[in-house]
Amino acid sequence: MGTFVSTSHEQQALRHGLQSLSGAIRNSIAMKITLIGYGRMGHAIEEVALSRGHEVVGRIDKGQEVEISPSTDAVIDFSTPDSAYDNIRLALEGGFPVVSGTTGWTERMSEIREMVERQEGAFFYSSNFSVGVFLFRHLVREAAKLMNNLPQYSDVEMEEVHHIHKLDYPSGTALTVAGDILSEMDRYSDTRAYLGDEERPSVAEDQLLIHSLREGEVPGIHRVAFGSAQDVIRLEHEAFGREGFAMGAVLAAEFLQGKKGCFGMEDMLHFD
């Protein structure tokens, strides 16, 4: 088995990122949080928030009118693709810092960024708040960078598996990881996705194929395969539950306090 050797710069970045995360954990200040989206993720976020000494002052479920308590220090949105933009806009217009992990709406992200700048607000977005997924993305980027110089391994495919309640496909995380690959490999400039048992589509030479599966109550699995005629190299991240995502979302809310602008996991962890 080969050994993956990272550079001293990468090791220092990783240590610095994890130290920043530990600092966020140590230095958290009690907040009052409003949750928009009170399904499985909303409940998991509430449990983590309470365990860290925060108070949940609002729980807004699907179909309910969005009313945010004036005492709210942070809004955490895990709603639905068709409601997320309006939820975020309403919260920002009210002057509240917003954390969002809802996927399937980000074609309007530029509008949110303009609103944040115009109103000097604070917004944190990630398609996946898991620290493990963030590290997985780094490994995929490094692998893609290596494979870009090895044309025999330029045949890349992705697969993502989620629970049957997930409405959009491919997952926001899969698109983010695909973007990491596209940024490092000259061959690819676009993606194409197909769902479940649909016939495998034909793809152009520059298209990265993503296969989306919806099965049972799977929290989330993402796989990347770099193939050659002789073998295949696979990288995989599997979440065992929602707790890691929930912790990341609460840490993001803590991170936003006193800040202005748009942020993501890279900003919170300082890990390039």
Q: Specify whether the CB–CB gap between 78 and 36 falls below 8 A.
A: yes
Catalytic annotation present for 145: no
Cα 85 to Cα 66, 79, 150, 234, 257: the distances in Å are 12, 10, 41, 35, 21
Q: Out of 46-50, 54-58, 62-66, which region has the weakest mean confidence (pLDDT)? A: 62-66
Catalytic annotation present for 166: yes
In the predicted model, is pLDDT for residue 25 greater than 60?
no
Q: What is the pLDDT of residues 117-143, one digit of tens each?
A: 999 999 999 988 998 999 999 999 999
In the predicted model, is pLDDT for residue 242 greater than 50?
yes
User: What percentage of residues in the chain have a pLDDT greater than 70?
Assistant: 89
Specify the residue for token string 């709406």: 105
- Cα(192)–Cα(184) distance, rounded to whole angstroms? 18
Nearest to 100 by CA among 121, 118, 119, 69: 121
The confidence score (pLDDT) of residue 271 equals 54
Q: Write out the two tokens for 175.
A: 């698109």
Catalytic residue among 138, 162, 211, 222: 162
- Cα(67)–Cα(235) distance, rounded to whole angstroms? 43
Mean pLDDT of 55-75: 95
Assign 28 a pLDDT band (cuts: 50, 70, 90). Answer: low
Of 156 and 165, the structure prediction assigns the larger pLDDT to: 156
In the predicted model, is pLDDT for residue 23 greater than 60?
no
Assign 114 a pLDDT band (cuts: 50, 70, 90). Answer: very high
The confidence score (pLDDT) of residue 79 equals 95
Of 2 and 208, the structure prediction assigns the larger pLDDT to: 208
Mean pLDDT of 6-25: 47
The whole-model pTM stands at: 0.72
In the predicted model, is pLDDT for residue 160 greater than 90?
yes
Q: What is the pLDDT of residues 196-241, one digit of tens each?
A: 999 999 999 999 999 999 999 999 999 999 999 999 999 999 999 8
Q: Write out the two tokens for 144.
A: 């893609």
Nearest to 250 by CA among 33, 94, 18, 105: 33
Torsion angle, alpha carbons of 267, 254, 97, 134, to 10: 40
Specify the residue for token string 């629970």: 163
Catalytic residue among 43, 166, 259, 260: 166
Q: Specify whether the CB–CB gap between 36 and 92 falls below 8 A.
A: no
The confidence score (pLDDT) of residue 29 equals 84
Q: Specify whether the CB–CB gap between 156 and 147 falls below 8 A.
A: yes
